[in-house]
Amino acid sequence: MAKKPTMPPSEIREKYQAKPGSRPGGRGPGGRGRPMEKPKDAIGTTKRILKYLHGYEWQLGIVALTLVVTAVTGVAATYFLKPIFNDLAVMVGQEDPDLTHFISTLLTLGGIYLISILSSYLYSRLMLNISTGILRRVRVDVFRHMQGLPMQFFDSHHHGELMSRFTNDTDTLRELISNGLPHTVQSLITIVGVFGMMLFLSWQLTILVIVMLLVIFLIIAKVGGRSANYFIRQQRAIGQINGFIEEHIEGQRVIKVFCHENTTVQEFAALNEQWREAAANAQTFGGMMGPIMGNLSHVHYAATAALGAALAIGGWLDIGTIASFLQYTRNFSNPVTQISQQFNSILSALAGAERVFALLDTPHEEDQGDVTLVYARRQADGSMTESPERTGHWAWKVPENDGYTYVEVRGDVRLYDVSFGYTPEKTVLKHISLYAKPGQKIAFVGSTGAGKTTITNLINRFYEIQSGSITYDGIDLTRIRKADLRRSMSMVLQDTHLFTGTVRENIRYGRLDATDEEVVAAAKLANAHFFISHLPQGYDTVLTGDGANLSQGQRQLVAIARAAVADPPVLILDEATSSIDTRTEKLIERGMDTLMEDRTVFVIAHRLSTVRNSAAIMVLEQGEIIERGDHEELLRQGGRYHDLYTGMFELD
């Protein structure tokens, strides 16, 4: 017997939902994904879906025409049953009947069916093109929008849950456009046409149809409402499952090391049970529509046949009219049943579309900066002028009055009384003031959670400070456009990320216009050239799975080379050599010194040997700078740094 989950599904769901304003994932608590709030306006969502039809107007016009033709030919073909049956009734018992009218009617009916087949084929081909084109547009819009979202958004949402927006949710949207809406429109046209022909043939039998319609609409309203709720829950559960799977596939090594396979299976089973329950209920209530409509159509057919027979006996109707009307009864119930069945896919698609549009409605990263980064040339008088090509010099293009002032990029970064917290309730940095002069190396040491990485996140403007100010070459950081600010910096993180592609392409990611020679030079600077040269295809070796075919140290060397090829004035090293052994670290020390030459460098390190030559070392604890000075000064102070360096105190 399978074991029950160690915690109820509701608690597991909470476990994989981020709390609003939680600390970003990666280091420290938080980072759990949570479903985003969804708009409840189905009409508004439908209008937004229809906007994606722009550009397909002429194809949609043809589709609309083919839908009308298909519906009309279906209605017309049924009407021809009346003369056929009436002719047969007249010809019964005749020795030499005249078949001219009968044959011409059959040929006309065949022509109508041929037109219906051709219009259906044309409709299917056009809708395939339209639906795939719209799917492409939606995914491009979502991906483009995500590039402008702040880091806080990605830190507080599961990657797998976000991936479901590109797959499950957009696929349901494609299904809605390619099948749901067209079939619904065609069914509505058919219903209107059939109802008109019914009224034309017999108003008495049409009254019975109206009664059945009222019953059908009551059932759709009752069952469909409950189905919609469960379809929304189903889409939400799929996103949570994707997030769980993505996280635990990445953490498979940790799961096995700590023997958490059974616990992981139980937690997944609980999440999967949530999905199963929502999906089962959604499909149950959605699936009820078909059988209910089918049985009602049988009842309607029998009642119509009985009433029609009574009217025929009384001389009110002929046999052909009854035959056509009975077929119209089938034609009427089938589109109603189709609409009820399409109701399921429409609900599912609207739920998926709401999730997609909720992501598209997430505000972009605010950027009101007006200062940009440009290539510059130094004039004989020492002033800077803008250059259209790379010169090795950078300048800030600062709007001033009716013109621009060019300020040389030197890497002078200063923090003035900066306080910050990921949530208003908890302050992470408290009144931080420091400066990094051009070419200086500033190191941050301290326990985990002391605020070291947070400072670099604020310098990059991944997060906005709550009080105080930060300047870069004397310019307030908020005035500098974020893209230009980040282009002037390179970061080497503890957790390296390599993209699927060649080693050369991964290094060139630091500067896309770098030549092959510059890529090799950067690799040599980072001491990565030797091991790259010994790879199967050298620099053209394809890396997959985040560089799974390299060791952790080799991956970090590639990341250092990527930072080197960018050639920025400011460099941030966040535990950049943590995955490199001490021997390799010594080998690349000279290369790193060359890389850091004439650059402002911020270093975060647990190995104190890597920060000895820093111009200033900041010791942080609980968001405050408790000591500052160079290596020798801090040792003489005999404080926390002295204890750390001499081994009397260890970092957490």
pLDDT number for residue 13: 46
pLDDT over threshold 80, residue 609? no
Q: Which residue has the higher pLDDT, 491 or 83?
A: 491
The pLDDT-based confidence of 45 (bands split at 50, 70, 90) is: confident
pLDDT over threshold 90, residue 219? no
Calpha distance 346→45 (Å, rounded): 12
The pLDDT-based confidence of 93 (bands split at 50, 70, 90) is: low
pLDDT over threshold 50, residue 148? yes
| CB 49 within 8 Å of CB 173 | yes
pLDDT over threshold 80, residue 82? no
Q: Residue 533 carries which side chain, given as an amino acid letter?
A: S
pLDDT number for residue 312: 77
The pLDDT-based confidence of 469 (bands split at 50, 70, 90) is: very high
Least confident range of 348-362, 476-490, 577-591, 632-646: 577-591
Give the residues across from 475 on adjacent strands: 472
CB count within 10 Å of CB 298 equals 11
Give the CA angle between residues 452, 145, 424 to the nearest 5°: 40
The pLDDT-based confidence of 26 (bands split at 50, 70, 90) is: very low
Residues 384-394, mean pLDDT to the nearest whole number: 84
Least confident range of 84-88, 155-159, 358-362, 616-620: 84-88
pLDDT number for residue 109: 82
pLDDT over threshold 50, residue 29? no
Calpha distance 569→573 (Å, rounded): 13
pLDDT over threshold 80, residue 434? yes
pLDDT number for residue 38: 36
Q: Residue 189 carries which side chain, given as an amino acid letter?
A: I
pLDDT number for residue 555: 85
pLDDT over threshold 90, residue 413? yes
101 Cβ contact partners less than 8 Å away, ≥ 6 residues apart: 83, 87
Burial class of 605 by CB neighbour count within 10 A (0 to 12, 13 to 18, 19+): buried
Q: What is the 3-state secondary structure (H, E, C) of 432-500?
A: EEEEECCCCEEEEEECCCCCHHHHHHHHCCCCCCCEEEEEECCEEHHHECHHHHHHCEEEECCCCCCCC
pLDDT number for residue 94: 64
The pLDDT-based confidence of 30 (bands split at 50, 70, 90) is: very low
pLDDT number for residue 25: 38
pLDDT number for residue 468: 92
pLDDT number for residue 587: 61
pLDDT digits (tens, 9 = 90+) for 290-347: 677 777 777 877 888 888 888 877 778 777 777 778 877 877 767 776 776 677 677 7
Unique residue bearing structure tokens 């799974």: 548
- Residue 611 has what DSSP assignment? G
pLDDT number for residue 173: 79
Residues 78-100, mean pLDDT to the nearest whole number: 69
Alpha carbon 117 to chain centroid, angstroms: 39
pTM check: above 0.75:
no
Output the average pLDDT for the chain.
Answer: 79
Least confident range of 60-69, 201-210, 397-406: 201-210
Closest alpha carbon to 445 in 635, 647, 610:
610
Residues 436-454, mean pLDDT to the nearest whole number: 87
Calpha distance 340→295 (Å, rounded): 13
Percent of the chain topping pLDDT 70 = 84
Give the residues across from 505 on adjacent strands: none
Residues 460-476, mean pLDDT to the nearest whole number: 91
Residues 473-495, mean pLDDT to the nearest whole number: 88
pLDDT digits (tens, 9 = 90+) for 162-209: 887 877 788 877 777 877 778 888 888 888 888 888 888 888 888 887
Give the pair of three-digit tokens for residue 139: 């995914």
Q: Which residue has the higher pLDDT, 385 or 342?
A: 385
Give the pair of three-digit tokens for residue 312: 């025929």
pLDDT number for residue 255: 76
Q: Which residue has the higher pLDDT, 14 or 196?
A: 196
- Residue 423 has what DSSP assignment? B
Residues 434-452, mean pLDDT to the nearest whole number: 87
Residues 550-563, mean pLDDT to the nearest whole number: 85
pLDDT number for residue 1: 38
Calpha distance 524→91 (Å, rounded): 98
pLDDT digits (tens, 9 = 90+) for 493-517: 777 788 888 999 999 988 888 899 9
pLDDT number for residue 540: 92
Q: Packing angle between helix 203-250 and helix 319-360, nearest 10 degrees?
A: 30
pLDDT number for residue 253: 67
- SS3 at position 159: helix
Give CA torsion, residues 605, 608, 612, 615, to 10 deg: 40
The pLDDT-based confidence of 578 (bands split at 50, 70, 90) is: low
pLDDT number for residue 89: 65
pLDDT number for residue 537: 92
pLDDT over threshold 80, residue 542? yes
Closest alpha carbon to 64 in 180, 179, 176, 186:
186
Calpha distance 190→127 (Å, rounded): 19
pLDDT digits (tens, 9 = 90+) for 118-136: 988 888 888 888 888 888 8
CB count within 10 Å of CB 403 equals 7
Calpha distance 377→651 (Å, rounded): 46
Alpha carbon 431 to chain centroid, angstroms: 37
Closest alpha carbon to 591 in 528, 533, 527:
527
Least confident range of 64-73, 162-171, 411-420, 423-432: 162-171
